Structure 1
């Protein structure tokens, strides 16, 4: 009976160890890019404005119809929503008496754009006096449909937006932020494929949006094999701002991909002359090489297991 118990315990230990060993090398899923509709082009997609308390702003948004049909466009001002990696949040949802509809004023609420032509939409911004210094946001949302679509048919509506980032200057402006993480996009430390994306997480601890930017250098066994820029991106106050960075690896063969990697990020924090560096490490073991190694190790473990098993019954 004792020999059977020992056998069962060894079997459980072996099974757990083997499963954990394999789990380290589960490949991450491929991230597919999202394609935006090409029927309407909006310029600019983002407008940044810095205003004093008694200052107004007038700007223009150009909408270019790239299709061979006339388009009907409806305009609505909405709150800016941000995906923080876990949920959709509204940065200014807790600000009292605030609504972007109160200060972002498009000249028209709807209009037509003829085929292959453009429409210029004037936009005025005027902040109310009661708002404290800081950042305020809004989005011009354009709902686009075909101008000649019969009313009896179901409408296909395309929604596109132009973001407005307004900075209200004052004595209480606080510019502060830092990198809190750099990782592979799926957060794995051991993977069977070279990463397509890195993820940078930037924490804005001030009260105005920042525009950080930087560069990631990738090393394999200490040798530089590539670098990728981290383009300027808006970092909103109080949030863990996440940016996905695409990397096209120069390594082609599976054998050349094996290794211990280090990624070094150097980033301008978006204010003054403040910079920060951040590092991460990961291991790459391609499946074409990993599988034979696992098979060999499996035979070794099985041999050791049966050797221990035979000794138990001899005793």
Structure 2
């Protein structure tokens, strides 16, 4: 059994150890997180990656290549296992296997893509990863700076490309015909049926029964859809507040007063994509009934009617009083 003094000594030791133990994380920024490069078969092209060391220590980084594909409909990439790597990764040459970044240093890292003459036109997708060398800093202290970052490379091999897309979904979220408050959310789902990544952009035009029109942009961020995948684009008409009840009520009442949304609406979608500016279209209908605005108008009407009735009653009493005073004066 350890005596009380020994236990206390162990406690002090571990307290000091964990208190002063340095905590490290990878503070490395890829200032070029996405690269889109086009190369003709039989030709090569040089690309550049920009990296920034945010730490106060030297970083030794090693590079690696992985192919990726689309994950879920949000566009999150899924990196393939080493045994699933594609042969096109061999086209990436002259990429340094190891680099040194000084504190606060920004560097450009060159690499070259050599496309074979017999390469099939279309899209090829690779991730260039950078990670610390076994958690070692330049002085070899082994301080645990760990993690990795990636630059996604969207490689287009020029030639006869198949740019084809299908609109597989255009609906409100939730899928209703009647809405009573903001925000109103739309979901646009597009299936890339071609062999090259697409970047559709367009608008949803809302028209009410007064022929007023409101334009909502789709894919302002210019996100890609990879071949053989479906991507969902979320569009919001007037995002609401996220505070307490009364702040939310007043914020949404203001939005309803600003837009005056009431009655039937038609939503018409138009998306353009590809080099030939192909178009996808869709439409849907819904009703918007702004209950806060209606409630406010009803309360205002009740207030005005009540004020008018009170004012009329006060005038009647005033007239009666004046009449009694006049009759009394005439009697005297």
Aligned residue pairs total: 250
Partner in structure 1 of residue 124 of structure 2: 136
Off by >6 Å, runs of 4+ in structure 1: 86-93, 285-290
Unaligned runs of 5+ in 1: 1-36, 291-315
Aligned equivalents of 1:142, 1:185: Cα separation in 2: 39
* 8 A contact 1:200–1:244 mirrored in 2: yes
CA change 1:91–1:169 in 2 (3 A) is: farther
CA RMSD of aligned residues (A): 4.0
Aligned equivalents of 1:143, 1:185: Cα separation in 2: 40
CA change 1:281–1:83 in 2 (3 A) is: farther
Please say if 1:42 is aligned against 2:33. Answer: no
* 8 A contact 1:51–1:166 mirrored in 2: yes
Match for 2:196 among 204, 208, 212? 208
Give the CA deviation at 1:57: 1.0
Partner in structure 2 of residue 167 of structure 1: 156
Partner in structure 1 of residue 229 of structure 2: 239
Q: TM-score, normalised by structure 2?
A: 0.60
Please say if 1:125 is aligned against 2:113. Answer: yes
Secondary structure class of the residue paired with 1:78: strand
CA change 1:45–1:196 in 2 (3 A) is: farther
Give the CA deviation at 1:227: 2.5
Within 5 A, what are the aligned runs for 1:1-315? 39-85=27-73, 98-105=86-93, 107-143=95-131, 147=137, 151=142, 153=144, 155-157=145-147, 159-171=148-160, 173-184=161-172, 187=175, 193-195=181-183, 198-219=186-207, 223-231=212-220, 232-245=222-235, 247-249=237-239, 252-253=252-253, 256=257, 260-283=264-287
Aligned equivalents of 1:88, 1:237: Cα separation in 2: 14
* 8 A contact 1:195–1:247 mirrored in 2: yes
CA change 1:99–1:121 in 2 (3 A) is: same
CA change 1:38–1:76 in 2 (3 A) is: closer
Q: Deviations over 1:30-70 (max 9, x none)?
A: xxxxxxx9943323322222222111111111112334444
CA change 1:255–1:234 in 2 (3 A) is: closer
Aligned equivalents of 1:262, 1:82: Cα separation in 2: 32
CA change 1:136–1:91 in 2 (3 A) is: farther
Larger Rg belongs to: 2
Which of 246-255 and 67-76 deviates more? 246-255
Aligned equivalents of 1:87, 1:228: Cα separation in 2: 18
* 8 A contact 1:74–1:110 mirrored in 2: yes
Give the CA deviation at 1:213: 1.3
CA change 1:142–1:236 in 2 (3 A) is: same
Q: Deviations over 1:219-269 (max 9, x none)?
A: 455533453342223222222232334554497318656765443322112
* 8 A contact 1:219–1:226 mirrored in 2: no
Q: TM-score, normalised by structure 1?
A: 0.63
* 8 A contact 2:182–2:238 mirrored in 1: no
